[in-house]
Amino acid sequence: MISLNLSDRSQASTSPKTDLPIRKMFHWQPDGSLLFRVDWSSIESLLSCNRSAEYKLVHSRQSGSRAALTFGAAIHSGLEIWYRNKHKVGTFEDAAGELLTREDLLSRCYSAIESTFAESPPSHFSPDYRTSDYAIQSFHSYITHYKDEILTPFTHQDKPLVEFSFSFPLGQSSLPTTIFEAWGFGTLTNDETKERAHNPATNVFSVPVTIEWSGIVDMLAEVNGSLYVVDHKTTSILSQDFFDGFEIAMQPVGYFSAVRAAFPDLPIKGFLANVLACRKPVAAVTKSGRPTTSKPFEALRRQYNYSDWHVEEFKRDALALIEELFANLTNTYFPRKTTWCVGKYGKCPFFDVCALPPEQRMSMLQSDNYTNNTWRPV
């Protein structure tokens, strides 16, 4: 069964991030089984490095906010408010009977951007061009660029489908009960659950696990008569490779899979990457005196149509990654993938943890260099 949450998440976003619950690895269900929810962040960790996935998912730790992450989240918060409310401009009256103007709505978007920076100030970086002011400037450039907007949020139950969460069943698995004590998840104390989990043939106690794919969709929008799952992307590096990746990437196909399953009667064709390229501002001329050709801001969109085979391969790939995660849990060891320790964006956030002797890593992971991995998927 597909579950959706269509509530206005922009209202909840005013709460500090510290109010979000710490991410739990598993959730007990009334029938004695376990629920394991996986989102794109989890999949991304599993694709890059098992050890990184251990720190994020098992120990619920993450690095402090980075400039790029805070900047992207701020732009997202502005776009959410814009697309959720732009149809009200000139028609919606507030409690005082005042009509919502375009300027009023833009002001709300700018305030949301500033609030995101205030709630999640970037850490671990020297002065960066991705500031609150630059985010507002980029957002304004985006709205100006698409002044004749053709991207229209699809309306369901009188609500525009903007920033809605989903939970989509992927499959079933099982785990030995030994992992609970081994990883500090607790122990089985319910006799009925113990009895249900026991396999007399192998004399192994195990618990069934339901696996769900969860996430937050930026928007379901209509484009020239067809519907597309829209994801807002901010980047400072824009190339053909950036766009080519969406052809078969797991995140867009996974979001498409969930939304299409939730609305099987709608003509949902695929995925639309709504890209805001926000580069470091440069001088109008180079040191040699020549005019620069670099644009600090660009807005681009590209559509991708997906088919049944995309959906099927996403499910199989995701389940294979999760089974690898479960195998690591069972073996009580998460191997590193050292090719990801240092990349084009610098060191892995957990590089300093892995560089320590094993007996010192948990102390570093629990230090102020890292924060609780909070999550509210649905």
Kindly report, residue by residue over 137-185, the tens digit of the pLDDT. 999 999 999 988 778 999 998 899 999 999 999 999 999 888 888 888 7
pLDDT of residue 29: 87
Say what the pLDDT of residue 305 is: 96
Q: Tell me: the pLDDT tens digits for 37-89? A: 999 989 999 999 999 999 999 998 988 667 888 899 999 999 999 999 998 88
pLDDT of residue 253: 96
For residue 197, what pLDDT is reported? 67
Give the per-residue SS3 of the chain. Answer: CCEEECCCHHHHCCCCHHHCCECCCCEECCCCCEEEEECHHHHHHHHHCHHHHHHHHHCCEEECCCHHHHHHHHHHHHHHHHHHHHHHCCCCECCCCCECCHHHHHHHHHHHHHHHHHHCCCCCCCCCCCCHHHHHHHHHHHHHHCCCCCCEECEECCEECEEEEEEEEEEEEEEECHHHHHCCCCCCCCHHHHHHHEECCCCEEEEEEEEEEEEEEEEEEEECCEEEEEEEEEECCCCHHHHHHHHCCHHHHHHHHHHHHHCCCCCEEEEEEEEEEECCCCCCECCCCCECCCCCEEEEEEEEECCHHHHHHHHHHHHHHHHHHHHHHHHCCCCCCHHHCEECCEECCCHHHHCCCHHHHHHHHCCCCEEECECCCC
pLDDT at 281: 76
172-186, 205-219, 284-298, 322-336, range with the lowest pLDDT: 284-298
**Model confidence over 89-132: pLDDT tens digits?**
888 766 667 788 999 999 999 999 999 999 877 665 456 788 89
Read off the pLDDT band of 378 (50, 70, 90).
Answer: low
